[in-house]
C-alpha cells in the first residue's frame, strides 16, 4: 500500500484520515496523520504523491514501548542470540509494541556479559524492517534479594558491585538503561547509587527493603521500581515498604503489570490515584510463552508451567512473569480495571519513552518523530500497525 526506502523505490506520503489522534496532551482529537520517509509530518502540507488510508474512526495511538519483558514466541532475550532478539522484535511489532527494552534474569555475571554483548552487536547490525526497535536493556538481576527472588535463580544472586556494573554497561555498548538492586542487601548501597546514577538509572528490584531503606535509596538517586507490588514487601498501614516510599517520592517511576494475574484491579485503580498516571509505566513482564500455547517453558534456568495465562514455577508455584504482551495488558487495564484509555496509552507510550530518554524520537504522534503507529477500533482491537511508516500488521 505504501513504500519503504532502501529498495530503490520512490517515497510516497501516506495519509491516514478519519481517525481519533492521541495527542501529547493525552487527549483524542479527530483528524488525519501524514507520514513520509518513515517520519510523521504535518498533515496540512498537501503532498502530491500520496497513498490514503481511511481510518474509519479508529483510535490512532503511538506504537507501544515495553521496558520490562523477557521473551515471547518460544524465545527469551537471555537465550543470548541475535536470532532470539530478532524473533522477539518481530512478534512485538506485530502486536503493536514497536519499541522494546528486554529484561535480563539473575544469571552468572559472565553469561550476562555475553548476553549484553550479543544485544549490542544486534543493535549495530539489525536491518530496518517490520520489527520493534531495541531501545535498551533492563537488568532485573543479579543485585537482588534472596528473600524476594521470585522466579530468579538464587544461586546467581550477588551484592551490588561497581566494577561488575561497569562491565555490564561496557558489554552492552550503552544499551543497559536500568540496573536493579536490593538496597537492604549492601551497606554500600547508597554510595553505589550516588556514583552509578550518572551512568545508568538505578531501580529497586526484587527487594525486601522497608520504607526507610527504600526512601534512602530514592533520596540517593534511585528513580525507578521494578514491577510494583511484586517481589517486594506488602503495603500495609504500619509498614508501607517500597510502595509507600514510591508514593512519597515524586521523581520515582513505577512499573505495573496489568495482565489480570499479578495485581488486583482494585489495587491498580488505587495505585493510579495514589501515584498518578505521570509516574506509572505499564509493562508485560512476559516470558517466552507469550504468543504460544499453554505448556512448560524455561525462564532463567528454571522450569515454568503456563496454564490459562498464568505462569508459575514448577518447583514452588511462584509467579514467573506473564504470558501476555503489553498491548493486551493495556487493554486489560482499560476494559477490566477501569483505567481510562487516555491514561493507559500514556503509561504504555509516552512514559516509557521518557524513562528511556527516547521521547524525542518515540512515544507520541508528532512531526519529526518516527512514524510508529497503531490503529485500534472501538473495541480496542488492533487494525493496523506501522513501524516507521511501514505496515507490520
**Which residues are identified as catalytic?**
285
Q: Using alpha carbons, select from 68, 63, 21, 27 the residue that is nearest to residue 282.
A: 68
Distance CA 236, CA 167 (A): 38
SS3 call for 326 = helix
Contacts of 48 (CB under 8 A, 6+ apart): none
- Cβ count near 244 (within 10 Å): 19
Whether the CB-CB separation of 32 and 40 falls below 8 Å is answered with: no
Q: How many residues does the chain have?
A: 393
Q: DSSP letters of 4-71? A: -TTSS----EEEEEEEEEEPTTS-EEEEEEEEETTEEE-TTS--SSEEEEE-TT-EEEEPEEESS--E
Segment holding 180, helix H or strand E: strand 176-181
Distance CA 3, CA 228 (A): 42
Alpha helices in 126-258 (DSSP H): 162-171, 189-196, 211-220, 241-247
Distance CA 335, CA 337 (A): 6
Distance CA 180, CA 139 (A): 6
Q: DSSP letters of 300-317? A: TTEEEEEETTEEEETTT-
Amino acid at each position: 500500500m505504501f513504500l519503504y526506502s532502501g529498495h530503490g523505490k520512490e517515497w510516497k506520503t501516506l495519509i491516514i484520515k478519519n481517525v481519533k489522534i492521541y495527542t501529547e496532551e493525552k487527549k483524542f482529537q479527530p483528524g488525519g496523520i501524514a507520514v513520509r520517509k518513515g517520519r510523521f509530518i504535518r498533515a496540512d502540507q498537501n503532498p502530491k504523491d500520496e497513498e490514503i488510508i481511511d481510518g474509519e474512526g479508529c483510535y490512532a495511538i503511538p506504537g507501544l514501548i515495553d521496558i520490562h519483558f523477557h521473551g515471547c514466541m518460544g524465545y527469551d532475550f537471555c537465550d543470548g542470540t541475535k536470532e532470539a532478539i530478532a524473533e522477539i522484535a518481530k512478534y512485538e511489532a506485530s502486536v503493536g509494541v514497536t519499541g522494546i527494552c528486554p529484561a535480563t534474569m539473575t544469571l552468572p555475571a559472565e553469561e550476562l556479559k555475553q548476553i549484553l554483548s550479543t544485544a549490542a552487536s544486534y543493535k549495530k547490525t539489525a536491518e530496518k524492517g517490520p520489527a520493534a526497535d531495541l531501545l535498551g536493556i533492563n537488568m532485573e538481576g543479579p543485585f537482588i534479594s534472596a528473600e524476594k527472588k521470585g522466579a530468579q535463580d538464587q544461586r546467581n544472586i550477588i551484592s551490588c558491585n561497581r566494577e561488575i556494573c561497569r562491565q555490564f554497561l561496557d558489554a552492552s555498548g550503552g544499551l543497559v538503561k536500568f540496573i536493579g538492586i536490593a538496597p537492604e542487601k549492601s551497606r554500600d548501597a547508597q554510595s553505589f547509587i550516588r556514583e552509578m546514577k550518572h551512568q545508568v538509572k538505578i531501580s529497586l528490584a526484587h527487594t525486601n527493603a522497608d520504607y526507610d531503606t527504600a526512601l534512602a535509596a530514592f533520596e540517593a538517586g534511585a528513580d525507578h521500581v521494578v514491577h510494583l507490588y511484586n517481589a517486594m514487601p506488602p503495603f500495609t498501614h504500619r509498614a508501607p515498604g517500597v510502595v509507600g516510599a514510591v508514593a512519597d517520592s515524586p521523581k520515582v517511576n513505577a512499573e505495573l503489570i496489568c495482565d489480570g494475574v499479578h495485581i488486583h484491579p482494585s489495587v491498580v485503580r488505587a495505585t493510579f490515584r495514589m501515584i498518578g498516571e505521570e509516574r506509572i509505566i505499564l509493562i508485560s513482564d512476559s516470558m517466552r510463552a507469550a504468543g504460544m500455547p499453554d505448556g512448560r517453558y524455561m525462564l532463567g534456568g528454571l522450569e515454568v508451567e503456563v496454564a490459562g495465562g498464568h505462569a508459575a514455577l514448577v518447583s514452588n508455584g511462584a509467579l514467573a512473569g506473564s504470558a501476555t504482551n503489553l498491548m493486551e495488558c493495556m487493554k486489560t487495564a482499560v476494559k477490566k480495571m477501569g483505567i481510562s484509555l487516555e491514561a493507559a496509552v500514556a503509561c504504555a507510550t509516552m512514559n516509557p519513552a521518557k524513562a528511556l530518554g527516547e521521547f524525542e524520537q518515540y512515544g507520541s504522534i508528532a512531526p519529526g518523530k518516527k512514524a510508529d503507529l497503531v490503529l485500534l477500533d472501538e473495541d480496542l482491537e488492533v487494525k493496523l500497525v506501522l513501524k516507521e511508516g511501514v505496515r507490520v500488521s
